[in-house]
């Protein structure tokens, strides 16, 4: 909004030319989202408490959670969403369709998460809407987004044939795997998988939001590079026209996440709930599909992959053999059962997320 307002004035007043720099607008989006999240956080948490929006605690979870986390309100993801949306709408180029694709998925998944959280709070139960309904709604939104992005990239200049429906392989300059119509299912799985992996990870204070911020920052760099013909050519990346603007929304996610962490740091004053985790995971997954770095997402978001796989392994093992591989799944609860303190688990998982992000970013140059 501010970009469209000030950019035409750059020819008359030099100071307004600053909005034409994507790096400035990304930083401005970050700061704006942070301020909004900090500003609305305290009153929103008070409002949640007044409405009795406490997070229902699983009775089969670690014993310490029943005491330490009881009474903490949920649906704090609204703080992140509002900060992110305001930061993006103020500083992003609203003529860019990729911004609207990510906003569409983020808002849609956020609405699903809100419905799930509301059911949990109103029923005073850890069970929200059914898994089938949740996955069904997510799949519809994700499929629309993949079709939308594929249409935008089809026939784009300076891109290989069938690039829109191909998967780029990291560490190789020109290796593309054409999937044809199968790409729509692949893209759907990336977006829905990322959303639910973040949701599974969100089980300890600050555990999910920091890796999300790390992933958002990493994909901000990736979007900036692959969306620039100059940088893409220099780094031997596949040029994806128009996607550089996604750096603004990545910056806004990072800023809103920092503001939320102010209130989510141990001991948490509020949980993001499904409202935040489903929407943030969906946003990161959509950005990864847009910039054609879906495989790199599995590296940068490896912590989320590890959490999701731990649940799959646990369920599969129990159904087939009647035995559990982990003391409890997701894997962060396994370490709790082993006696690790919650801050120890969280900080060590943050370290893992940083290392994985560095490995993922290294794929931009190692080609």
Q: Which of 7-11, 26-30, 67-71, 261-265 has the highest mean pLDDT?
A: 26-30
- CA dihedral (328, 275, 359, 286) positive or negative: positive
Q: Give the SS3 label for residue 179.
A: coil
Structure confidence at residue 98 as a pLDDT band (50, 70, 90): very high
Position 86 scores a pLDDT of: 97
CB-hemisphere CA count at 13 Å for 207?
Answer: 26
Position 6 scores a pLDDT of: 74
Segments in the chain forming alpha helices (H): 2-6, 22-50, 63-68, 77-91, 97-123, 131-153, 182-201, 209-226, 229-234, 246-264, 273-290, 294-300, 302-321, 331-337, 342-362
Residues 106 and 334: their CA atoms lie apart, in Å, by 30
Per residue in 163-202, pLDDT (tens digit) is 999 999 998 877 899 999 999 999 999 999 999 999 999 9
Over range 154-162, report the average pLDDT: 79
Q: Give residue limits of the domains in the chain.
A: 2-362
Over range 42-70, report the average pLDDT: 70
Residues 211 and 291: their CA atoms lie apart, in Å, by 19
Q: Give the position of tokens 């992000």.
A: 357
Per residue in 275-295, pLDDT (tens digit) is 999 999 999 999 999 999 999
Position 60 scores a pLDDT of: 56
Structure confidence at residue 68 as a pLDDT band (50, 70, 90): low
Give me 112's structure tokens: 């699903």
Task: Look at 56-65, 192-201, 326-335 and tell me which has the smallest mean pLDDT.
Answer: 56-65
Over range 122-148, report the average pLDDT: 88
Task: Look at 47-56, 83-92, 102-111, 227-236 and tell me which has the smallest mean pLDDT.
Answer: 47-56
Q: Are 287 and 102 in contact (CB under 8 A)?
A: yes
Q: Give the SS3 label for residue 160.
A: coil
Structure confidence at residue 62 as a pLDDT band (50, 70, 90): low
Position 105 scores a pLDDT of: 98
Position 357 scores a pLDDT of: 97
Helix axes 77-91, 273-290, angle to 10 degrees: 40
Q: Give the SS3 label for residue 193.
A: helix
Structure confidence at residue 310 as a pLDDT band (50, 70, 90): very high
pTM metric for this prediction: 0.94
Over range 354-367, report the average pLDDT: 92
Over range 131-149, report the average pLDDT: 96
Position 123 scores a pLDDT of: 73
Helix axes 246-264, 273-290, angle to 10 degrees: 160
Task: Look at 107-116, 134-143, 151-160, 244-253 and tell me which has the smallest mean pLDDT.
Answer: 151-160
Q: Is the preceding omega at residue 267 within 30 degrees of 0, hence cis?
A: yes
Per residue in 222-262, pLDDT (tens digit) is 999 999 999 998 898 999 999 999 999 999 999 999 999 99
Give me 304's structure tokens: 């989320």
Asked whether residue 66 carries a pLDDT value surpassing 70, the answer given is: no
Over range 71-93, report the average pLDDT: 93
Average pLDDT, rounded, for the chain? 91
């Amino acid at each position: 909004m501010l970009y469209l307002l000030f950019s035409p004035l750059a020819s008359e007043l030099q100071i307004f030319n600053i909005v034409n720099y994507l790096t400035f607008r990304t930083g401005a989006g970050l700061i704006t989202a942070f301020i909004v999240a900090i500003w609305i956080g305290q009153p929103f948490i008070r409002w949640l408490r007044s409405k009795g929006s406490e997070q229902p605690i699983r009775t089969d979870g670690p014993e310490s959670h029943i005491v330490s986390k009881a009474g903490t309100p949920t649906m704090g993801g609204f703080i992140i969403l509002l900060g992110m949306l305001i930061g993006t709408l103020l500083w992003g180029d609203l003529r860019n369709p990729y911004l609207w694709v990510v906003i569409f998925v983020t808002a849609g998944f956020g609405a699903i998460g809100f419905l799930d959280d509301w059911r949990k709070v109103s029923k005073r139960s850890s069970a929200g809407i059914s898994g089938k309904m949740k996955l069904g709604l997510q799949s519809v939104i994700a499929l629309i987004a993949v079709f939308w992005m594929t249409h935008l990239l089809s026939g784009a200049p300076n891109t290989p044939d069938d690039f829109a429906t191909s998967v780029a392989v990291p560490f190789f300059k020109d290796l593309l795997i054409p999937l044809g119509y199968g790409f729509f299912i692949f893209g759907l799985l990336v977006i829905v998988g990322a959303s639910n992996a973040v949701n599974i990870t969100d089980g300890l204070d600050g555990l999910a939001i920091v890796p999300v911020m790390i992933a958002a920052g990493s994909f901000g760099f990736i979007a900036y590079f692959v969306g620039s013909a100059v940088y893409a050519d220099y780094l031997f990346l596949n040029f994806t026209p128009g996607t550089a603007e996604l750096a603004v929304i990545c910056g806004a996610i990072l800023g809103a996440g920092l503001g939320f962490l102010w209130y989510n740091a141990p001991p948490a004053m509020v949980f993001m709930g499904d409202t935040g985790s489903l929407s943030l995971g969906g946003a990161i997954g959509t950005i990864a599909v847009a910039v054609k770095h879906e495989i790199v997402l599995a590296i940068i978001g490896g912590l989320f992959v590890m959490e999701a796989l731990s649940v799959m392994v646990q369920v599969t093992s129990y159904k087939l053999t009647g035995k559990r591989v982990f003391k409890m799944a997701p894997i962060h609860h396994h370490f709790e059962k082993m006696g690790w303190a919650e801050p120890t688990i969280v900080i060590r998982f943050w370290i893992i997320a940083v290392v994985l992000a560095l490995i993922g970013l290294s794929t931009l140059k190692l080609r």
